[in-house]
Structures are given as C-alpha cells and as structure tokens.
Amino acid sequence: MATSYAEATDSEALFIGAHSEDFSGYPDCRPAFFDAFQNVIDVGTKPETEIELKAPFVEWSKTEIAERGLELDVPYEMTWSCYRDEEPACGTCDACAFRLEAFRNAGSRDPIEYAERPEFS
C-alpha cells in the first residue's frame, strides 16, 4: 500500500522504523528483507519510478532510538508501540516491554499511560 501511495504521489522514499531487536521475532524486520523489498519496489513500479526504501534504525537498538529521540525532543506522548488497539497501552506485550526497557536504559520515563507499568520503569 505504501509503495502504491508513494508511486501515485511521486514520492522519492518510503521509511520504516524497524530496529535490530525486532530481528528474532519478525523476519520482515531484517536488513535482507528490506533489500529484497527494494527489489519488489523496483520491479513492481513503473520504469520511471524511483522509490528508495529506507530503514534508518535497522541497526539501532531500541535504547539507542529512545536516546536519540530524547535528544531531539520527540513528543513521545504522541507515539504508540503497544499491540493493543486501545488506550492505555498494556505495558506487558513485547512492544511495550521493549519500549519501557529502552526508556529505563536511557534514564528516562516513558510519558504515555500504561495499564500495567513494571515498577522498574
């Protein structure tokens, strides 16, 4: 869908926020997948279309991403990682656990509300 949208809007790039800690559970978060998907984009769009697939955090840990976001004053209160589709975030799924751990490792507190927040976070 993103590729079609990018092509229809003459976009030059698609970005995905996958990171290295996703590799184990999600094969489609590996660099090899993005290399293969770039080929899909190249073959599956018009010859004159040039869309680059970018995964800028693919080699970063979630802690590194949290730290960089804190440096940039990212409004983390407006972000979401939970697999749950309603507020508050659960605090216990893998995405919540990684996120809470990243904030803890970065020496900060995640500003979003959680249904369950481990004591250490």
Footprint of Zn ion (CB under 5 A):
82, 89-90, 93, 96
CA gap 36, 23 in Å, rounded:
15
| Rounded least distance, CB 38 to Zn ion, Å | 30
| Rounded least distance, CB 81 to Zn ion, Å | 7
The residue among 53 and 96 lying less far from Zn ion, judged by its C-beta, is 96
The residue among 6 and 112 lying less far from Zn ion, judged by its C-beta, is 112
CA gap 102, 66 in Å, rounded:
6
CA 83 to chain centroid:
13
114 - beta bridge partners? 89
The residue among 16 and 93 lying less far from Zn ion, judged by its C-beta, is 93
